[in-house]
A and B are shown apart, each in its own frame.
Chain A
Amino acid sequence: MTFEKKDAAAKPYAPGSLLPQGRLTGPMPWVIAIMMFLTVLASAAGLALDHGARSLSANVSDRITIQIAEADGAARSRAVSRIVALLGATEGVDNIAIVPEAELSSQLAPWLGNDLKIGDIPVPALIDADLIAPPAEREARIAALDTAAKAISAAARVEPHATYLGPLARLVGAIGWLSFGVVALMVAATGAVVVLAARGAHATHRGTIDIIHMLGATDTQIVHLFQRRMTLDALFGVAVGFAWAIATILLIGRSVAAVTSDLVQSASLPGFAWVLLPLLPVAGVGVAWLSARITLRRALQRSL
């Protein structure tokens, strides 16, 4: 007898896998890696833009600036004092601040040079304030304040920040939501990729499946066999895609941190994103597991 009795006695029997070794699903793990990479990036973009839009809206919704475009410097100073007093006496107005001349000079410096003396040219005076009012009353309160300011100086004008930054905040918010739409499409596409791979694996291994079916294997046994391997393939793809995406986000984050623009800074990832983003690979594996299970069960139920 040449059957290796000694070896067999020394080593425990290690059964061969009922499915061939190696990947069952061809390029599926790499397609899932790309999907996961794009999904995490789109999610991060969506979260950052949503965060940016919210902070932008919060910053601008109550803020107003009173501009006094008076050429006469003395009259302008008097108007500033009276309007500040008016604002101080108005209910719901808070955080009143006259924009310092130095700040105005620095803002004009790129066009008029660094040695500008603000008194030399008739630059409008600016007063920033918060007008806290219910949204329904806001427009009327701003109009009333504008009328009162104009009564002090015909050159005064109340400008709510929301009129020029509001559309930008809405645009940023809309792009954020669009990113979440892209994430939903990616999840659906990931499911579709797994469905196609499961169908392919089922077709490729139809012979083996038929044999083990005829020997009395249940659908559950066969589904487990494939599902486990397909889930492992998906797990590989998800892990690779997630690692790429996080590395990319960290690199972009470093670049964003180097930009001094408040607008760009506002679109940073909120803290909860670092809890939410790691859930995406878990969800990706879950989608793959479920898609493989449903597809294989349906395919098996077509046979006797």
Chain B
Amino acid sequence: MIVQFENVGLRYGPGPETLSDLSFSLDEGAFYFLTGTSGAGKTSLLKLLYLAQRPSRGAIRLFDADIVTLPRARLPGFRRRIGVVFQDFRLVPHLSAFDNIALPLRIAGVSDAQLRAPVEEMLHWVGLTGRANAFPATLSGGEQQRVAIARAVIGRPELLVADEPTGNVDNEMATRLITLFEALNKLGTTIVVATHDYDLLGKVAGAQMLRLERGRLIERPRPAGERQS
């Protein structure tokens, strides 16, 4: 398994827990949808997955490492193995679409000559070849989202975490993106997609569900062994 949560709780400041008693595991190479009403804690759970937060209590194992006690200096190495599509895209405003997509490769130390081909391929994949030099402010919401998705997957992450990745695109593009995620999943990437869009859930065969309600999991995925039995 790639992720394991045990009695995880998350609290922001002195308020009540946003997430409580989460225990589940995610299998390597599986596809998961995370659903729940607004405010159920989907984004908070994703933040724990992409290492933007540490839990207030409980244990999290990610890539066979104890994330709760992992020294801060080792986190970047783990983050490079995770692709993230943020709900608000978080594109760097002064970088072109091309440079935004190239960002994970540049951070990983890939040379400018070597990153060109994969970035062009990604641009083509998300249908933005003609917008390579456009800056985020000149892109539509849907285009920004596609740039954010291309940036998340360009490094071939072991775990892809996407927060409402189809929220700003039309049905055709949503289907295309989900097909893209499936293709990545077939290459071995574990995918976790948070979504409100229940139509999407039926589009991926074999996808499993995590359902959150008021910070608690009311539906959790079954581990691979359990499913087989």
Contacts and interface: CB of A to CB of B under 8 A. Distances in A.
Q: Do A and B bind each other?
A: yes
B71 to A, nearest CB: 12
A3 B77 contact: no
B96 A16 contact: yes
Interface in B102-128: 102-104, 106-108, 112-113, 115-116, 120, 123-124
B50 interface: yes
A214 B152 CA distance: 11
B130 A15 contact: no
Interface residues of B, number: 38
Nearest to A7: B133
Interface of B: 50-54, 72-73, 75-77, 79-80, 84, 90-92, 94-96, 99, 102-104, 106-108, 112-113, 115-116, 120, 123-124, 129-130, 132-133, 151
Q: Which 5 A-B pairs have the closest CB atoms?
A: A2-B130, A216-B80, A3-B129, A216-B79, A16-B99
A218 interface: yes
A207 interface: yes
A212 B107 contact: yes
27 contacts: A1-B130, A2-B129, A3-B129, A12-B113, A13-B112, A13-B113, A13-B115, A15-B102, A15-B106, A16-B95, A19-B94, A207-B90, A211-B90, A211-B91, A212-B92, A214-B52, A215-B79, A215-B103, A215-B107, A216-B76, A216-B77, A216-B79, A217-B76, A217-B107, A218-B73, A304-B52, A304-B72
B108 A18 contact: no
Contacts of B50: 214
B84 to A, nearest CB: 6
Contacts of A21: 94
Contacts of A301: 72
B41 to A, nearest CB: 18
A243 B96 CA distance: 39
Contacts of A207: 90
A221 interface: yes
A16 B112 CA distance: 11
Contacts of B92: 18, 208, 211-212
Given A1-B129, A211-B103, A304-B53, 12 more contacts: A1-B124, A3-B120, A3-B123, A3-B132, A12-B112, A13-B115, A16-B96, A212-B92, A213-B79, A214-B50, A215-B103, A219-B73
Contacts of A1: 124, 129-130
B99 A15 contact: yes
B76 A218 contact: yes
A214 B79 contact: yes
Contacts of B123: 3
Contacts of A218: 73, 76
A12 B77 CA distance: 29
A20 interface: yes
A98 to B, nearest CB: 81
Interface string A5-23: 0001000111111111100
